[in-house]
Amino acid sequence: MKTRAGLFRAVGEPLELVELDLAEPGRDDVVVRMAAVGICGTDLHQVKGEWQRPTPMVLGHEGAGVVEHVGADVATVAVGDEVVLSWAPSCGHCPDCARGRPAACVPLHRAIGNGTLVDGTTGMSVGGETVYRGTATGAWAEHVVVTSKVALPTGGAVPLRDAALLGCAALTGVGAVLFAARAEPGGVALVVGAGGVGQFVVQGARLAGAEAIVVADPVEARRDQALRLGATHAVHPDDLKEAMKEIAPVGADYAFDAVGFPETSATALRFTRSGGTTVMVGLPPTGLRLDLDPAEFLRREKFLTGTMYGSEDPAVALPILLDHVAAGRLELDSLLGETFPLERIDDAVKASLELPAGRVLIEP
């Protein structure tokens, strides 16, 4: 079948709208008509050339849409169902899949690095040339063919525009607090970086019952947004030291780096209290390393960990998030920013690179 998609060819070149050839769906596959797809930091790493992945590629992995076709063996969703896409079509039988962490699946990450699915195919081409899949998904397109296990039904509980955010930023950010840090009520949470994921870390901290939520971000609009979502303090990173002296002189119980640069991870670790937990949430550009002082872990007994896709199986975590949305405890709509049609994919990416307060969405 054919569909239209936004194609990324090379760093510095505008993304272009192409007619894409999709492989016929298999017995376990579904075809999803995409309704809304976010632009995530992971997509931007590739657009900016911070990650080397094969091209041409259809990026986009944070999306929601409607099932248009199901393969003969699909029992979990039906035509017409509204679904959120998980970007973890994992192998299903490695140790990480067995422990309920499809997003940590090693064959999946190898495939993502190669721009393919786990079986080495992409199922996408243009004029006979192979097109690679961003994050094993490739959702900046009108239609996507995916294995049914990554088409997670919402039950129509949320508008599809809002649901798109659940596909990556919300699962990642809220999961970082609830499932990676396993934050207990009454603590102090520090969130470094209030972009798309950071705003959900703030909400996760609120859901976990944090007593104080401190946000550090250089962009004022993002700080304001974080305050609206439950942060108790929001400061410019230059003012963080002064602020923490007042709010939590011994440091935060939980600190999250929602950016992913060595400096932001170092900031999160530095302002974690002795015995507290630092969680790396944002993904760094390829090749960067952390410079760690052993005293942070020996003398001060801090825990440093990371999270991939919120440290839970998306199929398990999504219903939990949907419950929070239904109860009014988790905001999606107010986190949305500018919306672009697929034809303006390049403008959408440019808008996203300006670090807006709201998530930029593509409505294919």
Site for Zn ion, rule CB under 5 A: 40, 42, 90-91, 94, 97, 105, 168
What is the H or E stretch that residue 264 is in?
helix 262-270
Nearer to Zn ion, 97 or 360 (CB): 97
Shortest Å, Cβ 45 to Zn ion: 10
Nearer to Zn ion, 200 or 254 (CB): 200
Nearer to Zn ion, 180 or 252 (CB): 180
Nearer to Zn ion, 235 or 360 (CB): 360
- The whole-angstrom separation of Cα 195 and Cα 262 is 17
The sign of the CA dihedral 192, 196, 200, 202 is positive
Nearer to Zn ion, 93 or 245 (CB): 93
Nearer to Zn ion, 101 or 223 (CB): 101
Helix crossing, 196-207 with 220-228: angle to 10°? 30
Q: CB under 8 Å to 76, separation ≥6 — which residues? A: 148, 149, 151, 153
Shortest Å, Cβ 43 to Zn ion: 7
Q: Report residue 334: phi and psi, to 5°.
A: -70, -10
Contact 61, 87 (CB under 8 A): yes
Shortest Å, Cβ 107 to Zn ion: 5
- The whole-angstrom separation of Cα 223 and Cα 225 is 5
Shortest Å, Cβ 320 to Zn ion: 19
- The whole-angstrom separation of Cα 331 and Cα 324 is 9
Closest by CA to 145, choosing from 33, 59, 5, is: 33
Shortest Å, Cβ 357 to Zn ion: 18
Shortest Å, Cβ 100 to Zn ion: 11
Q: Kindly write down the DSSP assignment for every residue of 36-93, as one continuous string.
A: EEE--HHHHHHHTTSS---SSEE---EEEEEEEEE-TT--S--TT-EEEEPS----SS
Shortest Å, Cβ 151 to Zn ion: 17
Contact 337, 360 (CB under 8 A): yes
Nearer to Zn ion, 42 or 203 (CB): 42
Q: Report residue 83: phi and psi, to 5°.
A: -135, 155
Shortest Å, Cβ 111 to Zn ion: 10
Shortest Å, Cβ 88 to Zn ion: 9
Strand 252-257 with 188-192, pairing: parallel
Closest by CA to 59, choosing from 6, 4, 130, is: 6
Nearer to Zn ion, 109 or 300 (CB): 109
The sign of the CA dihedral 121, 125, 131, 132 is negative
Nearer to Zn ion, 151 or 281 (CB): 281
Shortest Å, Cβ 216 to Zn ion: 21
Nearer to Zn ion, 243 or 279 (CB): 279
| Burial (CB count within 10 angstroms: exposed 0-12, middle 13-18, buried 19+), residue 120 | exposed
